[in-house]
Amino acid sequence: MSALSPQTPAPQSAPSESQQWISVISLAFAAFIFNTTEFVPVALLSDIGKSFAMPATDVGIMITLYACVVAPISLPIMLLTKNIERRFLLIILFMVFVASHALSYFAWSFDVLLISRIGIAFSHALFWSITASLAVRVAPKGKEFQALGLLATGTALAMVLGIPFGRMIGESYGWRNTFALIAIGAAIVCVILAKTLPRLPSVNSGSLSSLKVFLKRPSLMIVFALTIIVITAQFTAYSYIEPFALNVAHFSSTQTTTLLLIYGAAGFFGSYLFGKFAKKYPKLPIPLSSAVLAVSMLLLTSLGTDFTSFSLLSLFWGMAIICFSLAQQAKTLALASDATDVAMAIYSGLYNVGIGGGALLGGLVTTSYGLNHIGIVGGIIAVLGTLLALVLVQRKDFIQKNRVC
């Protein structure tokens, strides 16, 4: 019998290195788009509230709902789609993403806007469950770390450009056009990925049995717990940073946008510092970034009313959250290299538990005690996270399996 029977499709020719890099860069742009749409409501709460005659603190439920959808479905939706060819799966989730943003644009009530966000959240959950491992697979041989670095750059860009530019577009042309622009960008990236990605059968995605294996890896369990704690702390304060700047610090709209730009730009610097020093000092990034986050939030009330001080605070705050997120993602991949999709689905879900929990807690703090207390509550939670981070890095298996960091 011949090696290739008439029923067997001919193998694909290997993509060129330039095609591989185009695929990786396109995935990085996709990361930028998905992170932008998750967090851009933070910069548009006040404008959306005005459209529907609601206070900004009530509109914050958009952030909580999004996270509450992503958190529980990340793992189930990854397991349900684990055998589906990855290029086809990416195209489908992009179609859902674009259609949901179109609904956001035309939303005639706040309830319809929330429904559109649920559709976006479903596509988000699947995207982040599979993308890190896909970037590594499609990267040129020996360039896997650079591929992960580009994904991180896409994430940082969302904070540098996506959120503040989303606010500027919202201010100039209305918040609906922010969502329309995101939909157009996603459609373009989808076409590029459809043309450049080879067929990508699902491999090393893991299964439900992987959960039992993970439970026997204490450092991985601590990484997951730490993700919930620190991200809850982060979004207790950050979810309401725009109304804090406008109503507590009494900054102008331009100054508030500038602060978001500084915060986002710091993400680039944080990403650079992580790439340069994390491998040399593997025990440093997680506890240090957690500590800087704690200090930044605890100082928010006392320093947040002076623009120069707030700008400096935003710089360190932005660097810290990017370093923390990169370190946690890299550590998750290192400790679960045999089931990366399952591990990243869990990580993405827990990250969004933190986002939703933080946004909900921030809203409760605002309602009960006022916006000026969000930094204090977030900072106290981050201190607890810092203590857990110090425990994590002292474990023997933290370094032994540290292949990515």
Is there a contact between 165 and 172 (Cβ–Cβ < 8 Å)? no
In tens digits, the chain (405 residues) has pLDDT values of 334 444 444 445 566 777 788 888 888 889 889 988 887 887 788 888 888 888 877 888 888 888 888 888 888 888 888 778 888 889 999 999 999 999 999 999 999 999 999 999 999 988 888 887 788 778 787 776 677 777 877 876 776 677 777 778 888 888 899 899 999 999 999 999 888 887 877 665 556 667 778 888 898 999 999 999 999 999 999 888 888 998 888 898 888 888 888 887 887 788 778 877 877 888 899 999 999 999 999 999 888 888 999 999 999 998 999 889 888 888 887 887 777 778 888 888 888 889 888 988 998 999 899 889 999 999 999 999 999 999 999 988 777 544 444
Taken in order 271, 272, 273, 275, the sign of the CA dihedral is positive
d(Cα 341, Cα 379) in Å, to the nearest integer?
A: 32
Closest CA to 242 of 255, 233, 229: 255
Per-residue DSSP letter, 203: -
C-alpha dist (Å) from residue 321 to 54, 155, 234, 270, 326: 30, 11, 8, 8, 9
End-to-end CA distance of the chain: 48
Tokens of 272: 């650079």
Within 10 A of 351 (CB to CB), how many other CB atoms are there? 25
Tell the CATH topology of 17-400.
Growth Hormone; Chain: A; (1.20.1250)
Within 10 A of 221 (CB to CB), how many other CB atoms are there? 14
- Range 21-49 burial, b when 16+ CB lie within 10 A, else e: bbbbbbbbbbbbbbbbbbbbbbbbbbbbb
Closest CA to 197 of 26, 10, 8: 26
d(Cα 121, Cα 34) in Å, to the nearest integer?
A: 9
Closest CA to 333 of 189, 129, 141: 129
Per-residue DSSP letter, 15: P
Within 10 A of 264 (CB to CB), how many other CB atoms are there? 23
Closest CA to 175 of 33, 43, 38: 43
Within 10 A of 206 (CB to CB), how many other CB atoms are there? 24
Q: Tell me, what amino acid is at 177?
A: N
281, burial (CB in 10 Å: exposed 0-12, middle 13-18, buried 19+): exposed
Q: Within 13 Å and on the Cβ side, how many CA atoms surround 300?
A: 29
Is there a contact between 57 and 157 (Cβ–Cβ < 8 Å)? no
